[in-house]
Amino acid sequence: MGILSVNSSVSTPSLTLPLHGGGDAKVNRDSKMAAIIQATNLQKSYAGQRVVDGLNLFIHKGECFGLLGPNGAGKTTTLRMLLGLIAPDAGEITLLNLPVPQAAREARIRVGVVPQMDNLDPDFTVGENLLVYGRYFGMKDSEIEARIPALLEFASLTNKRDAKVPTLSGGMKRRLTLARALVNDPDVIFLDEPTTGLDPQARHLIWQRLRELTQQGKTLLLTTHFMDEAERLCHRLAVMDNGKLISQGTPRELIEQNIEPQVVEVFGETAGAWANENAARYSQRFELSGETVFCYVQEAQPLVAHLQTQSALRYLHRPANLEDVFLKLTGREMRE
């Protein structure tokens, strides 16, 4: 038989002390070494198909960790296993030092989740959504009511407290979902594609809020397939494909380890023909995609000088970015 007051069942006092910092939010350098989420050799198959295949993750306290990968790479399945919502076929998970899925429920007392698809309560107002959700964590109504103004302010929804959910814009719903995930003041926040479907303004506001959360010392695990999002927000990234981690590191490390530093994109109707003749001579590696040739180079000057003599072609010279890494690692062909 369980207990309604979930707060009283938080285990291992050695763990609760440093993590329940409440207001003081500086990342403690010593605790940086401790894993707040750890997965070892995780496996999961559905109907004989490996969805997650030998995955290892080690996420430190206070970092924003990004899980990248094309659709169907196994990102959401991984998140659901880490939360203890589905059991892995093999492998071990600890979340906040608790074994998952065995003690997943206890671990989730200190976790917030922003799901991929909105699942706010459409019958309720903004304020009621927060109140009702806080109760699921065993919080008292007075405790939740006391937090609501700050949550609404964080989500820029203060004047929407009494608005019904269906009247909110997509961006407001996402912000409310984020505020809802913070109702229990979690130490770890899982975000599954937090900005998919949002316009640029809404996306930038979410990014700003997520940065504030990392500054407060929260640990963030997010999945995305927006490389600019990953590059801006994440301290460390892992690229996942076919259920496996294929590369891992800081955004800069991923670029340095996987790809030449300079990219020259060459476009035009004759780009394909040009590439067959010349691309190999001027670049370490090149790819043809539609009418665009992507030339990956250590030193762009000779190629740029050559291109300036080709009047039928246009080109763009830029530093290599995460998207280049992502496409190199996971291929250019469509998924789904």
Partner 1 sequence: MIMRDFALPRLSLRFFPIWQRHWLVWKKIAAASVIGHLADPVIYMLGLGYGLGSLLPQMGGTSYMTFLAAGTVCYSTMNSASFEALYSGFARMHEQRTWEAILNAPISLDDVVLSEILWAATKSLMSGIAVLLVIWLLGLSHSAMSLWMIPLALLVGLTFAGLGLIMTALAPAYDFFLYYFTLVITPMMLLCGVFFPVTQLPQSWQTVANILPLSHAIDLARPLMVGNVPPDAIQHIAVLLAYALFGFYVSLVLFRRRLAR
Interacting residue with partner 1 among 72, 91, 99, 115 (CB under 8 A): 115
Residues found in the chain: 336
Q: Which is nearer to partner 1, 135 or 306 (CB)?
A: 135
Interacting residue with partner 1 among 12, 41, 71, 119 (CB under 8 A): 119
Q: How many residues bind partner 1 (CB under 8 A)?
A: 35
Q: Which single residue is written with the structure tokens 């062909």?
A: 333
Give me the sheet containing 285-289, strands edge to edge: 285-289, 292-297, 262-267, 314-319
Query: How near is the Cβ of 43 to partner 1 at its closest, in Å?
Result: 12
Distance between CA 61 and CA 73 in Å, rounded? 25
Token pair, residue 324, equals 């280049």
Query: How near is the Cβ of 92 to partner 1 at its closest, in Å?
Result: 16
**Which one of 32-40, 85-93, 226-234, 259-267 is the stretch in contact with partner 1 (CB under 8 A)?**
85-93
Query: In this structure, are residues 167 and 136 in contact, taking their beta carbons and an 8 Å threshold?
Result: no
Interacting residue with partner 1 among 108, 147, 203, 328 (CB under 8 A): 108
Query: In this structure, are residues 176 and 133 in contact, taking their beta carbons and an 8 Å threshold?
Result: no
Q: Which is nearer to partner 1, 81 or 300 (CB)?
A: 81
Q: Which is nearer to partner 1, 6 or 295 (CB)?
A: 6
Helices then strands, counting H and E runs in the chain, come out as: 13, 14
Distance between CA 137 and CA 109 in Å, rounded? 6
**Which one of 60-68, 122-130, 304-312, 327-335 is the stretch in contact with partner 1 (CB under 8 A)?**
122-130
Interacting residue with partner 1 among 26, 32, 41, 87 (CB under 8 A): 87
User: What does residue 71 show for φ and ψ, rounded to 5 degrees?
Assistant: -55, 135
Residue 160 DSSP symbol:
G
Binding residues for partner 1, rule: CB under 8 A, are 1-4, 6, 46, 83, 85-87, 89, 105-106, 108-109, 111, 113, 115, 117-124, 128, 132-133, 135-138, 180, 184
